[in-house]
Chain A
Amino acid sequence: MCKLQRPSNLPARGFGVTVFLCKRKYRVIKGIISPVNDAYRKKGLISAHHRVIMAELATKNSQWLEVDTWESLQKEWTETATVLRHHQEKLEAGRHDAPQDSPVLERPGRKRKRAEQRQDFSQKKSVEKKTAGVPKVKLLCGADLLESFSVPNLWKGEDVAQILGHYGLVCITRTGNDAQKFIYESDLLWQHQDNIHLVHEWITNDISSTKIRQALRRGQSIRYLVPDLVLEYIEKHQLYSSESEERNAGVTLAPLRKNTAQLSL
């Protein structure tokens, strides 16, 4: 749910939406796709090795999207907040000598359905500089991730607070109303609403990885739903089948296992 990464549903269907953030303007400089670790144990999850390669194939020609393997290479499943922290620290370490300019954003993508692009070179030069020159990492997601915050034991309280309070969320939704309603009905989300940027996707494009895998099992074409390179890779390696869909069947999802174990200590 929160960290699932199926490269086949990735930027292949992304499109840019201009982000209007009330009084602040951002410049997105990079998008990071971080495929989840195999130890997440989600049903149907195939090896990270393949998922990383597919993500790389999908973003091959992109000027600003990249795939990061740190998360998938860890010895065990890693919480989202930790991954965000890793990327934020990496950015800060790399920008010691970078020129000071207006606040910029980087977005590690979680369950990335779409990429976001916002270029605002022409407008306001005097932007509020909260942390001048240091890019800020934000979590990019769909409305389902927002709603997953309320699933018991899926998230650690302090992690959610960190993600919402410290990093921030960019949430792409088809029906802005549902997401807004959800924020309204949650004290935690309401408290951090300034750090949750809702982006309305005007061109509805509901290509879920689940449907892609289902189509593959049924021998139906997925051409033009995923990039050609990804399609070729899937066919060459015969990646998805009824067998692969049964992987991790009956196994508890890593965060659930981890969080309930800690509860029972």
Chain B
Amino acid sequence: MKSRIPVVLLACGSFNPITNMHLRLFEVARDHLHQTGIYQVVRGIISPVNDKYWKKDLVAAKHRVAMVRLALQTSDWVRVDPWESEQDQWVETVKVLRYHHSTLLRSLPSAEGSDPGQALPVAPAVVPELKLLCGADVLRTFLSPQLWKDKHVQEIVERFGLVCVSRAGHDPQRDIEASPILRRFQRNIHLAREPVLNEVSATAVRQALRQGHSVQYLLPDPVLAYIREQGLYLGPPGSP
């Protein structure tokens, strides 16, 4: 039986706050990749962006990381990684990918020196493929030279690969067609579809919180409890 290629999914973003929609990305992506028969998703990583991204309304990374950790308490395959958020500067996505890729390589069992007396070489352990997980809206931003350097987009899709989750009404294929780089490496771009219409954006959640509306059931209960305890997202727009 042909063995599947192991895959690790990495999601970058503000996660301000993390919502059930973000968590769904992993579930939908995993189902999709498994469905191909080629891949086996072994791990998921959520990497909240550095504070120095200076995005409007961004609350402190320590809170955003804490909330993701709470949201993933009951997950047995996705975890949070604070490396990106702990750097001195904002880190470009391609560098986050490179970092996690080299971490993956370092964590593999070494194939050398295992048995000096062995006549045949030991087969190297399979390196999981690290792929960037994102929503269709992020894919669209790849077309924006203000946001992404061409050479980075190329490295992301050529060297790593993309899993893009979209929902009804979105047409990521069109965005791929519109970009020569994406078109060229589209075999490395996996388009997964979320069948359920789900517009739970973090922006809408922050707005609802500011207006005193309930967001229960839009994000995990422990995250909601944390937001209340810490008094997050209560101020006027522009304040964290």
B198 to chain A, nearest CB (A): 6
Q: Which residues of A contact B196 (CB under 8 A)?
A: 206-208, 211, 225
A202 in contact with B208 (CB, 8 Å)? yes
Q: Which residues of chain A (1-60) have a CB below 8 Å from chain B?
A: 11-18
A203 in contact with B199 (CB, 8 Å)? yes
Residue of B nearest to A10 (CB): B217
Given contacts A61-B221, A202-B208, A223-B23, contact A15 B197 (CB under 8 A): no
Most buried by A among B216, B218, B221: B216
Given contacts A16-B216, A115-B216, contact A203 B208 (CB under 8 A): yes
Residue of A nearest to B221 (CB): A61
B175 to chain A, nearest CB (A): 22
Q: Which residues of B contact A259 (CB under 8 A)?
A: none
In the complex, B124 has a CB within 8 A of chain A? no
In the complex, B104 has a CB within 8 A of chain A? no
In the complex, A204 has a CB within 8 A of chain B? yes
Roughly how many angstroms separate A13 CA and B214 CA in the complex, as a whole number? 11
In the complex, B213 has a CB within 8 A of chain A? yes
Roughly how many angstroms separate A248 CA and B197 CA in the complex, as a whole number? 28
Q: Which residues of chain B (198-220) have a CB below 8 Å from chain A?
A: 198-201, 204-205, 208, 211-218
Q: Which residues of B contact A82 (CB under 8 A)?
A: none
In the complex, B118 has a CB within 8 A of chain A? no
Interface residues as binary, B17-32 with A (CB distance below 8 Å gives 1, 0 otherwise) = 0001001100110110
How many B residues are at the interface, by size bracket?
A: 20 to 34
A205 in contact with B27 (CB, 8 Å)? no
Roughly how many angstroms separate A225 CA and B213 CA in the complex, as a whole number? 20
In the complex, B231 has a CB within 8 A of chain A? no
In the complex, A215 has a CB within 8 A of chain B? yes
In the complex, B102 has a CB within 8 A of chain A? no
B205 in contact with A203 (CB, 8 Å)? yes
A204 in contact with B211 (CB, 8 Å)? no
B212 in contact with A18 (CB, 8 Å)? yes
How many A residues are at the interface, by size bracket?
A: 20 to 34
Which of A13, A206, A228 interacts with B217 by CB under 8 Å?
A: A13
A14 in contact with B74 (CB, 8 Å)? no
Roughly how many angstroms separate A117 CA and B217 CA in the complex, as a whole number? 13
In the complex, A220 has a CB within 8 A of chain B? yes
Roughly how many angstroms separate A12 CA and B20 CA in the complex, as a whole number? 11
B220 to chain A, nearest CB (A): 8
In the complex, B195 has a CB within 8 A of chain A? yes
Roughly how many angstroms separate A203 CA and B204 CA in the complex, as a whole number? 7
Q: Which residues of chain B (211-239) have a CB below 8 Å from chain A?
A: 211-218, 221
A220 in contact with B31 (CB, 8 Å)? yes
B217 in contact with A204 (CB, 8 Å)? no
Interface residues as binary, A189-223 with B (CB distance below 8 Å gives 1, 0 otherwise) = 00000000000001111111001001100011101
Residue of B nearest to A227 (CB): B217
B215 to chain A, nearest CB (A): 6
A15 in contact with B213 (CB, 8 Å)? yes
B71 to chain A, nearest CB (A): 9
Q: Which residues of B contact A61 (CB under 8 A)?
A: 221
**Interfacial residues, chain A to chain B (CB-CB below 8 A):** 11-18, 61, 114-115, 117, 202-208, 211, 214-215, 219-221, 223-225, 227-228
**Known contacts A203-B218, A206-B196; 6 further A-B pairs (Cβ under 8 A):** A203-B215, A204-B197, A205-B197, A207-B196, A221-B27, A221-B28
